[in-house]
Structure formats: structure tokens, C-alpha cells
Amino acid sequence: MKHIFSILFLFGLVNGFGQDATAAKKLLDEVSSNIASYDNLFFEFSYVLENQQENIKQETNGSVTVKGDKYKLNYLEAEQLFDGQKTYTIVPDNEEVTISSADDEEGYGINPSKLLSFYKDGYRYEWDIKQKVIDRTVQFIKLVPTLPNETTQYLLLGIDLSKKSIYRLIDIGKNSTRTTLTITNQKENIPLNNDFFVFNADAYPDYYINN
């Protein structure tokens, strides 16, 4: 009888984990579908990097506008524009523009257009904690890399359940570094000029253009 109960208990655990993974995937797909329904999306965010062992805490803010694969990101006193084919990183302090292809890994490591789909490959899902954050209920999904990852131990993606939108993304690093991106303000379907995601070199006559 002990063996039977042990088998049933283990089966219950496995079945529970499977249900949690299915529920997590379902919620992520609902959020992705909801965000994809907008013509465009604008949000402001805070970004915090912490490493208690090294006594490091860095905080900064930014904003981004996304439309399909295109985005315009303002972050770290610079602007990054992706027009669907090339990325333009504009740094006023250096009076420099760096142009790279979509396949290059240059930039700030944040690709806003991938918020819709980054979770679909290379992760397994776990249902994590639910928190009340001021006036919203946030359900966290734990994303564990399924392939070797040099830096990330796991991610925690916080979903605003009422809006079916992303509220917070936490990256727990293997080197004791924790980065937290929190969306502080979000607007959908804002008016945009036709050339909003077009890089205009004439606007930077004295800048060095680095191809």
C-alpha cells in the first residue's frame, strides 16, 4: 500500500506540474495575442540592475514605441531605432550614429518587439507566485532556459491579470545579478507619423555615421 500511495503521490506531482505549465503557456499566449491586437504600443519603464555581492545598484528609466517588428527606444541617454531591417543607435553625447543589421547583436540587449514572442522558444514554464501590486493583481510565470545559458538562471514574467499585459520582467542571473524591468505607463494605438520609424541622416549633419 505504501508503494501504491507513493506512486499516486508522484503521479499527482507530475500531473500538477503539467497543469501548471499548461496554464502558464495559456496565459502567456493570451497576453501575446492581446498585445498583438494593438496597432502600436507605447510604454515607459524603469530598469534596475542589482548585485548585492558587489554592492551594485543602478537605476534608470526609458520609453519605447513598438509597431510590429519596428521600435523606437529611448534609454541610457540615447535613442535606438529599428526600422525592420536595420538598427540605428544615436548617441548625442558622442555625436555618433551606429548602424547595424537586424542579425547583429549590438545595442542595449533590449528588443521590445520580441516581448510578444521571446518566451516561445528555449524555455519551460512554471506557475509562480501571485502578488497584489497597488491596484493590480500580478501573476508571475517562471521561465527556465532549456538550453545552456551563460548568464540567466531563470526569468520571472509578471502579468497584469486584469489587462492581460506585461507588468514586470525579472532576470535572475547566475552571477548573483538581478535585473528588473517594470512598465510604469502604457498607451495603445497612439497617433504616429508615417516616417516615425524612418532614420533621417539629414537630421544629424555633424554626427559620425558608423556603418
pLDDT in tens, 128-175: 999 998 889 999 999 999 888 778 899 999 999 999 999 999 999 988
- Check which CATH number belongs to the domain holding 156 and give it: 2.50.20.10
| pLDDT in the model for residue 6 | 40
Residue 196: C-alpha distances to residues 45, 79, 100 (Å): 20, 13, 19
**Residue-wise pLDDT tens digits, 75-87:** 889 999 999 999 9
pLDDT for the residue numbered 90? 96
Residues of the chain with pLDDT under 70: 1-19, 103-111, 113, 116
Neighbours of 49 (CB within 10 A): 15
Name the E strands within 28-67: 41-51, 56-67
Count of C-beta atoms within a 10 Å radius of residue 158? 24
Domains contained in the chain, number: 1
Q: Which domain holds residue 140?
A: 2-210
- Taking the whole predicted model, whether its pTM rises above 0.75 is answered as yes
* CA dist 162 → 34, 78, 132, 137 (Å): 12, 33, 12, 7
Identity (one letter) of the amino acid at 54? E
